[in-house]
Amino acid sequence: MPSPIGYDGALTCAIFVTDFDRSIKWYQDVLGFQLLYRIDDMRWAELATEVDRVNVGLGEDPEFKAGKGIKLTFGVKDIGHARATLERAGVRFDGETETYPGMVSLATFFDPDGNALMFFQDLAQGGGR
């Protein structure tokens, strides 16, 4: 059902980081996102995810302190493989992968600034959400 707002189907998830260059490199090298552009004067960059028209924006704030808040959650085909890939890159996880049989598996991890991110694997019949 269309919204009266008129969304265009694109989503940019903005994340504050303390070190612009380090974060761009981490999101590229560790999560495999592709740099679309960076504006050094603004300390802003956008990276493409594998989800059509869903990007991650990085904005530098040297005094930023991570805390509870929005958690970007990325669907993956094989959560064990995705987790192992990040663990080999030294990424810190928040405990073990949680599995709810017939529903979902969840694994929370952190970027270099302590922002919480999550992988999920859909375990429901047919794989749909």
pLDDT in tens, 12-66: 999 999 999 999 999 999 999 999 999 999 999 999 999 999 999 999 998 888 7
Q: Are residues 76 and 19 in the same domain?
A: no
Q: Are residues 79 and 32 in the same domain?
A: no
Q: Are residues 51 and 84 in the same domain?
A: no
Phi-psi region of 51 (alpha: psi -120 to 50; beta: other; left: phi over 0): beta
Phi, psi of 118 (to 5 degrees): -145, 145
Find out whether 75 and 120 touch, Cβ atoms under 8 Å.
Answer: yes
pLDDT at 1 over 90: no
What secondary structure letter does DSSP report for 93?
A: B
Last residue of a domain, one of 39, 64, 89: 64
The reported pLDDT for the residue numbered 128 is 44
Q: Look over the chain and give the mean of its residue pLDDT values, rounded to a whole number.
A: 90
Q: Are residues 81 and 102 in the same domain?
A: yes
The reported pLDDT for the residue numbered 108 is 95
CB atoms near residue 67 (< 10 Å): 8
